[in-house]
Amino acid sequence: AASGGPTSIRQVKLDKECELRIEVAETPFRLRLLTGTAEIFGTEIPPEIWLSLPPRLKFAVFTWYGATIEMDGTTETDYTADETPMVSYVNVHAVLEGRRNRAKASPGDSDASQGPRVIVVGPTDSGKSTLSRMLLSWAAKQGWKPTFVDLDIGQGSITIPGCVAATPIEMPIDPVEGIPLEMPLVYFHGHPTPSANVDFYKVLVKELAQTLEKQFSGNAESRAAGMVINTMGWIDGVGYDLLLHAIDAFSASVVLVLGQEKLCSMLKDVLKNKPNVDVVKLQKSGGVVSRNPKVRQRARGGRIREYFYGLANDLSPHSNIANFSDLSIYRIGGGPQAPRSALPIGAEPTADPTRLVPVNINRDLLHLVLAVSYAKEPEQIISSNVAGFIYITDIDIQRRKITYLAPCHGELPGKYLIVGSLTWVET
């Protein structure tokens, strides 16, 4: 393993089924494919063309048949690995492919026309997002339009953290740009972990599943392509219950368990009465890089920044000013509860976790990220998806004005806003 070499152009020859694992440093780095074929997380890289990779990206260039890669720039680390679980991953893809073809050949039959619904589970940093991405890109390469569902509200590969979301994948996912943000279906939880409000998280997962179900019923193509569902790394206690809830809500037919024997046998056991659900254990790749809480926190901020400013600072968000009276802001659940002492003896304090609590505008909202709901009435807020997000940059109590950053200029697509605990400090 070579690391942190001098800034120079160098070539690496990869044998078949090997990968070059790279952690980009803070400085510019690019690479290109000189000979052979290679892919980054399931997406083929074009020959000859230099690809610039963003700082701190951790990725691998894998080749099925052999390739020569040229690199330019320093890296944190780069090394070649000849042991990868890629063959087992592509075998899963082949099985899914067979199921998609069968689904496509059975139009009209409501059960048989449903393609595979794959859910990827495992501890944090087991390579769940990466495997999801590969399965989606391989499927898209063969002309399918599978739906990507991301339930990982801690990171979020479709939109900002704090959300559950889904989007069709029509092309192999670009290794640099990620998932194109064309009208994803997004539900806002508002917190970077579901534990802040578990019941609300479940409500949103259920809503997302039901909305997709409706969409599928009118779209044979996406129905046959099926879905790939990425989940959180929280797999104990409540986290485990949430996995079971997601498997049930989406009627998953394939559960891929990455790198954890115990989780796999627990799931096999609870799902053994469901003959239509396959639980498959897969090896974790040795290339997966662990990220500490600080790195995660930083990645969260990065995703929010990217939403407003674009990956390469190529978007220009607008700073808008609204009157307090123009906006109705709500929080879901929480709020003041009756203290135990104020209740009749024996009664438990009940806080409805999905209660809608109106929020008074004050300086506590500064630096929070709010979602703009599609709801037309307050009662619809809990079950509505969101159009996008704003970021509060100033509150003028005296003049009753609120300044916020939005991706575009002009009126917001709705007047109801949802606030949670998602903050961001612009840097």
Query: For binding to ligand ADP (CB under 6 A), which residues are involved?
Result: 19, 21, 58-60, 122, 124-130, 233, 285, 287-289
Sign of the Cα torsion 400, 406, 411, 417 reads: negative
Our CB check for ligand ADP shows the closer of 83 and 241 to be: 83
- At 137, list the tokens: 């890109």
Query: Smallest gap, in angstroms, from Cβ of residue 299 to ligand ADP?
Result: 9
Query: Smallest gap, in angstroms, from Cβ of residue 41 to ligand ADP?
Result: 7
Give the chain's radius of gyration (CA, Å). 23
Q: How many residues does the chain have?
A: 427
Beta-sheet pairing, 117-121 with 227-230 = parallel
Distance, CA of 138 to CA of 117 (rounded, Å): 15
Our CB check for ligand ADP shows the closer of 31 and 417 to be: 31
333-361 in b/e form (b: 16+ CB < 10 A) is bbeeeeeeeeeeeeeeeeeebeebeebeb
Our CB check for ligand ADP shows the closer of 169 and 419 to be: 169
Query: Smallest gap, in angstroms, from Cβ of residue 84 to ligand ADP?
Result: 7
Our CB check for ligand ADP shows the closer of 291 and 355 to be: 291
Nearest to 221 by CA among 148, 144, 167, 166: 144
Burial class from Cβ neighbours inside 10 Å (0-12, 13-18, 19+) for residue 38 reads buried
Query: Smallest gap, in angstroms, from Cβ of residue 127 to ligand ADP?
Result: 4
Query: Smallest gap, in angstroms, from Cβ of residue 37 to ligand ADP?
Result: 17
Residues ≥6 apart with Cβ < 8 Å to 395: 361, 362, 363, 365, 366, 401, 402, 403
Residue 277's φ and ψ, nearest 5 degrees, are -115, 120
**Please, how many CA atoms are within 13 Å of residue 140, restricted to the half-sphere of its CB?**
25
Our CB check for ligand ADP shows the closer of 152 and 207 to be: 152
**Residues 242, 202 contacting (CB under 8 angstroms):** yes
Query: Smallest gap, in angstroms, from Cβ of residue 292 to ligand ADP?
Result: 12
Our CB check for ligand ADP shows the closer of 42 and 127 to be: 127
Q: Which residue is nearest to ligand ADP (CB)?
A: 287
Our CB check for ligand ADP shows the closer of 127 and 333 to be: 127
Query: Smallest gap, in angstroms, from Cβ of residue 21 to ligand ADP?
Result: 4
